Amino acid sequence: MGKNKKILLIGDSLFARHEGFNKPAIEAFLLKKSPQLIIYNSSVAGDATIDVLNRMAAILSIEPCDMVFILIGTNDLALNKQVPLREFQDNLLKIISFLKEKYTSKQIVFLSPSPVDEQKQRYRHNRLIETYIEAIVTISKKEQCRFINLYQLFLEAAKQTSISQLLEGSLDDGLHFGSAGYSLLADVILEQL
pLDDT above 80: residue 59:
yes
User: What is residue 3's predicted lDDT score, i.e. its pLDDT?
Assistant: 67
Nearest to 101 by CA among 148, 62, 149: 62
Average pLDDT over residues 125-141: 97
pLDDT single digits (tens) 17-48:
999 999 999 999 999 999 999 999 999 999 99
Q: What is the mean pLDDT of the chain?
A: 95
User: What is residue 167's predicted lDDT score, i.e. its pLDDT?
Assistant: 85
Residue 21, judged by CB atoms within 10 A of its CB (0-12, 13-18, 19+), counts as middle
Nearest to 55 by CA among 74, 70, 77: 70
pLDDT above 80: residue 178:
yes
User: What is residue 152's predicted lDDT score, i.e. its pLDDT?
Assistant: 97
Q: Where are the domains of the chain?
A: 6-191
CATH of the domain spanning 6-191, picked from 3.40.50.1110, 3.40.50.720, 3.40.50.970, 3.40.1280.10: 3.40.50.1110
Residues 6+ apart with CB under 8 A from 140: 110, 146, 147
Per-residue exposure over 62-83, b if at least 16 CB sit within 10 Å of its own CB, e if not: eeebbbbbbbbbbbbbbeeebb
Tell me how crowded residue 162 is: count the other CB atoms within 10 A of its CB: 11
